[in-house]
Structure 1
Amino acid sequence: MTETQRKVGFLICLITIVLAVLDLQIVSAATVPIVRDLDPDHGVDKIPWLVSAFALASAAMLPLYGKLCDTLGAKRVFTGAIATFLLGSALCGAAQSMEQLIAARAVQGLGGGGLMSVTMVVIAHLKGPDEEGTGKGGSAGGLVAGAGMAVGPWIGGLLADHASWRWIFYVNLPIGLAVLAASAFVLKLPDHPVRRPLDYLGAALGAAFSSALLLVTDWGGNRYAWSSPVVVGLIVTAAAALALFLWRQTRAAEPILPLSLFRVRELRLGFVIQAIVGAAMMCAIYYVLVYLQIARGVASSSAGLYLLPMAIGMSTAGLLSGRLTARGWSARTFTLSGTATTALAFGLLALTTGPATSLWLIRAALLLMGLGLGQLMGQLILLVQFAAPRHQLGVATTGIRFFQTLGGALGASVFGSVLARLYAADGPGGDVSALARLTGTAHAEGVRAFVSATDVVFWSGAALMTLATVLAVRLPRPGRPEDTEQPARQPEPVPA
């Protein structure tokens, strides 16, 4: 590829990441007009599935996408994922019922799982030999993803208020078709003429595990009690599917997620740190919005604007870390700095989310949060890609995205359970949902109990990120090959 083609390729990848991240977050701000239009009587009960259908399908496909990249070539998988995503977007925009919209969101999620993960594989292939190990492309992709997560709900609200909720999905079509056409002519990536057998059984077991786990985190303690047969059955299913999946990975000729990857220290620690970061991001974004609306009376349409400092911090830190990595700074340095900064930001949130503290302090804490997460979004992917054997670049890249997805789901569930239990023990009304119906002294007491519980959630986030900092210290230093259990790069096997 010429230098111009590579620059256009990087731009294609960034646009694709924007599409993926926005569609994961953007629907949350448009649920009210969607329900009002499609099913005003019973649509509220189906709202969670609008997000869950996309997330379940996306997570289920992640392990398979990595293996497909290593087997068929990244370009074919990339264009296939975009085409599937666009088909789902068109079906979502044309949906005439909540059931149709949920099914279309699942189709969209099948493609969306590849948009984020496969795009990072394409970025790795676009780098020249002298750019391996630098932050070019990867950091930009990470900061775009982080900023999209922060501003997605706000954009969704704008489209729903000033156009129609259907444009949340239709807007993907012209952009996605342009990306498809450009990628067909511009991207010239390594192909894999030798076809290896795919482990479809392993992919099915991995999808069963991730789907059951995500449903446990979504339904447990919310739609169903933790002791209910439904949740217990899902937990048993997730445990059995995980055990069978691990067993299959030791037997399959071409495993979906080779367990040999975990022998590389950078990969082993990187997967765990990324899972923690996924949980932290869910905690920061979701529970700050909940705090602003419940404890401070901020309207839902305005609450998303408070995440703009976080997006600005992510963009600034992402660009700066990417440039410094290109000049020789190590991904380990920014992983250490990013985890420590994020831990400090959680502590600041815990100290400033009072019933009457200045909202500017909240903005400052979110700016600091963005500065920490912005260092992590691209650098962890860069660290994993450089440490992974070249012929397993796809599974390593989608693997780190897979762990982030599971970490985010588990984090949302655990933090939600902590908040609910603490409020139930100390607040009036029994649960947080009753707080909106309280008045006078009871309401003030409820707000105090909610704020106290939220502080514990943010302190828990600080503890998690402190653990991530300790794990980051264990990452091998650059130029110290003796710290790594096996060589970072292995030659791609030559076909017989």
Structure 2
Amino acid sequence: MAPAALMTPAQRNLGMLLCLVTIVLAVLDMNIVSAATVPIVRELDPVHGVDRLPWLVSSFALAATALLPLYGKLCDLYGAKRVLLGAVATFLVGSALCGFAQSMGQLIAFRAVQGIGGGGLMSVTMVVVAHLKDPAERGSGKGGAMGGVVAGIGMAVGPLIGALLTDHLSWRWIFYVNLPLGLLVLVGTALVIKLPPAVGRRSLDFLGAALAAAFATGLLLVTEWGGKDHAWTSPVILGLVAATLAALGLFVWRQATAAEPVLPLSLFRISVVRLGFAIQGLVGMALTGSIVYVMLYLQIARGIDPTSASLYLTPMAGGMTAVGLLAGRLTARGHAERTFLVAGAGCAAIALLLLGLSGPTTGLWAVCGELVLLGFGMGQLIGQLVTVVQESVPRHQLGVATTGIRFFQTLGSALGAALFGTVLARAFADGEPGLPLGAVRTLGGAAREHALRSFTDAVDVVFLSAGGLLVLVLLLALRVPRTVAAAEPPVLAA
């Protein structure tokens, strides 16, 4: 039974609007923190806070990543609506706790609570969107267009809202602002969205989900600690590598033998799905490096306040929004998603390589132009892969496929935050041995100029590394088939 049998067209449109608000909530939270990083560090840990900064992103992304495979299976077994309500409620609890945090340690821990719910905000919402679509709209690229447009709007509005709240109230309000939006989604989803009841109940692979979480945690800790807190050849890192590989091996074994695996290995037999997972992971890494470190570059190297710095992301967001709308319309008219994946990867790679060549005296108009080009690229990548993967999987695996691609994106984001944080710290230490990153703005005279040059050089290394990842994305995108065989419409569940 389709939702059309239970919901009027007006109700389906209102349901789509609620899903849009939920995605906005997810995108805002991913970007709103970037504008408040410096004030957060200044209040909670002015000496070592910058070194722990990557964990503000990583803890959220790690918790979200660990739960994503389980979210997908829950959607397929018990229905996306119930799962979405639980995810939003958990996210709101985490947001309230983050607002009350009194130390960096507490804030990082509460961000993980946020991530447990946040893992379901966008991924489960995209499953609901697929259910609410009219059958004639499937394969139209409408979902991909919405993803690009909302990501663009969130990228512009998120840091701006974060900066305004931080400057005029407190950084704590970047978390409190989630509460009214989240409550609106909870009440609206419960009252408006009506999907057919789930058919049957089956067991859940909690062991598989735990092994996925163990693998993701180990991988993140290796990238976070390796070469910074511990030498790469130290017993701690070697032990973590061994444990991570063991968790991965056990996870693969479990997925091959479990009656109801959280991430069925059969998905990897579909070439489009394999490529989609790999591309989404790399895009997640590169996008994290772009947003967080553009804001750091503008605030530290160029001395721009958080509100003004956030405005420099507006050109990037405008590019994402415009190209997201255009790509959606062209896809609906029969143009292949592969075209936009290739063009998007190329544009984003060039933009990041150009950012990597920027210095302390580079004109800010040039930086804006590079961010516009980056927006053109990312707008074509974000969202399109979700549509491609959804169209290529069997209908009974819509939930695990959708959350699977989000699993790789959020894992990539977590790894990107940790890896690029390590790259930044190591590159800066080469130019300023023994000087903490947070002390750059306290210096004066020639020492300050030298430290800013070292910091800019370190950020350039991050941008060049992210650009290299996008070159790899371009090569993978060229392997995506021009025409993706559409799967049957998915089985719908409440």
Could you tell me the TM-score, scaled by structure 2's length? 0.88
Residues 108 and 444 from structure 1, CA distance in 2 versus in 1: closer, same or farther, beyond 3 angstroms? closer
How many angstroms does 1:423 deviate by? Answer: 4.5
Contact 1:217 1:409 in 2 (8 A): no
Match of 1:203 among 188, 191, 209: 209
- AA paired with 1:265? S
How many angstroms does 1:392 deviate by? Answer: 0.6
Match of 1:2 among 4, 8, 27: 8
Match of 2:367 among 358, 362, 366: 362
How many angstroms does 1:176 deviate by? Answer: 1.6
Match of 2:92 among 61, 86, 95: 86
Match of 2:395 in 1: 390
CA distance in 2, matches of 1:169, 1:344: 34
CA-to-aligned-CA distance 1:439-488 (integer Å, 9 cap, x gap): 54454445445444544443333332222112111111217x6xxxxxx5
Taking only the aligned residue pairs, the percentage that are identical comes to 63
Residues 336 and 113 from structure 1, CA distance in 2 versus in 1: closer, same or farther, beyond 3 angstroms? same
- Answering whether residue 64 of structure 2 is matched by residue 66 of structure 1, we say no
Match of 1:309 in 2: 315
Match of 2:32 in 1: 26
Q: What are the within-5 Å matches in structure 2 for residues 473-492 of structure 1?
A: 473-478=478-483, 488-489=486-487
Q: What are the within-5 Å matches in structure 2 for residues 322-361 of structure 1?
A: 322-351=328-357, 353-361=358-366
CA distance in 2, matches of 1:37, 1:287: 20
Out of 109-118 and 438-447, give the one that drifted further.
438-447
Q: What are the within-5 Å matches in structure 2 for residues 30-429 of structure 1?
A: 30=36, 50-94=56-100, 101-149=107-155, 151-351=157-357, 353-425=358-430, 427-429=431-433
Residues 397 and 242 from structure 1, CA distance in 2 versus in 1: closer, same or farther, beyond 3 angstroms? same
Out of 267-276 and 133-142, give the one that drifted further.
133-142
CA-to-aligned-CA distance 1:189-222 (integer Å, 9 cap, x gap): 3432211211110011001111222233334344
Contact 1:314 1:375 in 2 (8 A): yes
Contact 2:398 2:490 in 1 (8 A): no
CA distance in 2, matches of 1:415, 1:34: 20
CA-to-aligned-CA distance 1:389-408 (integer Å, 9 cap, x gap): 11111111111111111222
CA distance in 1, matches of 2:473, 2:54: 30
Residues 81 and 421 from structure 1, CA distance in 2 versus in 1: closer, same or farther, beyond 3 angstroms? closer
- Answering whether residue 464 of structure 2 is matched by residue 466 of structure 1, we say no
How many angstroms does 1:358 deviate by? Answer: 1.0
CA-to-aligned-CA distance 1:353-388 (integer Å, 9 cap, x gap): 123121100000001100110111111111111111
CA-to-aligned-CA distance 1:267-300 (integer Å, 9 cap, x gap): 1111111111111112222232233334333334
CA distance in 2, matches of 1:23, 1:396: 24
Out of 143-152 and 398-407, give the one that drifted further.
143-152
CA-to-aligned-CA distance 1:24-60 (integer Å, 9 cap, x gap): 3323444566677778999888766544432222111
CA-to-aligned-CA distance 1:233-274 (integer Å, 9 cap, x gap): 333322221111011111111111111111111111111111
Could you tell me the TM-score, scaled by structure 1's length? 0.88
How many angstroms does 1:416 deviate by? Answer: 4.0
SS of the counterpart of 2:77?
helix
**Which consecutive residues of structure 1, in runs of 5 or more, have no partner in the other structure?**
482-487
- RCO (CA 8 Å, sep 6+): is it higher in 1 or 2? 2
Contact 1:121 1:393 in 2 (8 A): yes
Residues 415 and 52 from structure 1, CA distance in 2 versus in 1: closer, same or farther, beyond 3 angstroms? closer
Contact 1:420 1:431 in 2 (8 A): no
Out of 393-402 and 291-300, give the one that drifted further.
291-300
CA distance in 2, matches of 1:36, 1:450: 18
- AA paired with 1:280? A
CA distance in 2, matches of 1:31, 1:421: 20
CA RMSD across the alignment: 3.0
- AA paired with 2:263? L
SS of the counterpart of 1:134?
coil
